[in-house]
Structure 1
């Protein structure tokens, strides 16, 4: 990806190769966002509230990629859907390009959604099996009155080629494709309206490892080509690091650390972030024993959140203050936020992340590849 990416209205930011974005008016601003669900206690009963998202603040600049990582149950997916109002937030503010998203209704909300899209985790359940690909990819264009007839068919063919599929794929059904090919269709549909912002909700987690890199590299190419902003949700910090300008780490509904990707990897200030990095298997298995820092226990229930810092039952740095006082998310350095009473001590311990994680994914440096996976039924390049 280019070292510098130009956003709309002349805004400029550094891409992943150049570090954190420079100061700019955010495209997306999230403040104090909360979403809770009532736990079921039976056929008619309503139990206590599950605080899936508990006071999250985020900024995202145009053309920037923000990685959102955490274990299952941390609230990542709910946050992404709440930002798009696929689920209604209970509290907090969402501003997109200066517009109060929570105040919009009807046509105004539909108009804004031309600029905000999502790629779902499971492409199989996200695609209607009764519709052909041309209907699935072309539906957003029809709904917003942007193309019909021959123009619609041509636009669908263009989108399919852009994600590495043959135009002839438009006449087939989702069941005729492999998992990776279905996800390419989902990506084409999300990009049909040329949005400014896309939520990528664990877009490769349901795919075979053998093709995850292909899909990630496709997302890199598309982001560079269209200068679209991504909220890239994943549980794999090593994977997110290949794509993101900045990373936000979520734990039990809250952001516990946020910084430029390189800063997160080199100087993590929260024990949970440090554990996520260290838990990634290193390329050299002989170093695995020395590097591994497993996270003890399971993520607590959001119904019964621990007092004080929610991570203290699993944290090797926890002391009495951690068990009693909930740490706020504060700056530990310029552009680096952490919610930890002992962030200075966590950072002061030597930490080398250079040999952690999987081998680097290929970053395209020339023009995007025109190679396509074989879409012939029965020949599943993407699985």
Structure 2
């Protein structure tokens, strides 16, 4: 069996690119052998395949039209792991499912009681408009408004740091508050939190910030630490390698796109707030978040909060868009997903720690919510 030379062109200055590379390497180790040729980049203006490479196929994050043209001229199978050139001729793609990404962000924000939403993404070659469009659609589906940052200049134009800060500050001060802001990625989330600090706007009380991906270092050194969406970048790399292997076996380079769902929202201090002006709802939510994993029911919540069940249900619908029983179920399932991802607990132990009577009950609720079994979810998460 021939050993294929596979080139990988992804930036590795953040967790996203490093995990894509890990996913590619994992596939090559299992189903190779492949000779991986890796060229990491931090600037995308003049990306090209090194002259010394003789590649049979490529996995890349294509960032400019010139980059796309140069890669297409090689006449080898290519899988793009970026979202700027979906549908380009002869280019296959594996990207984040941004509809699910946006729904996760909205679910997280709504669980905090937010009714004001915004999207922050300065012009960049790092991402397309698909992210903002998906989030705006998720917001507008609820009959609400998504405020988008529109600085009025195109990709490639340079403005000074002071001018950038003035533009972002002016935009932030025009937003209704408190407001939940989804940033395109961790770098932009940190940027936004820093502008808020300089402008005297408090995070998360006035501006709650959620980063669109999880670069661990960037999120942890931010002040306050950034909540983030854990996109499945290692699985993206693995699936990109699997699709490239298929093209190499068939000798073809068809256009197509595989969308990979993100894993979860990792909550940190930048969204640790309740944007709810009803003290009874806040009290109920705090009780639920402390005790959901002990198997409590709505009746237990009503014993803690002196309010009629119908009134509590109306207020939950108003602020969160779901009933108290649905919020309890959401909390338990999120706990189960965390344990399946981060521990080696048995299914019975995961069920007990999540507030379920046993693995059968957990499995039924999990399949209904996510269309896969807890075991399948754990196996998929291991790719990440």
Interval of TM-score (by shorter of Structure 1 and Structure 2): under 0.3
TM-score for both structures, normalised by structure 2: 0.27
Q: Comparing both chains, which one has the higher relative contact order based on Cα–Cα distances under 8 Å and sequence gaps of 6 or more?
A: 1
**Structure with more helix by fraction:** 2
TM-score for both structures, normalised by structure 1: 0.27
Q: Which has the larger radius of gyration?
A: 2
**Structure with more strand by fraction:** 1
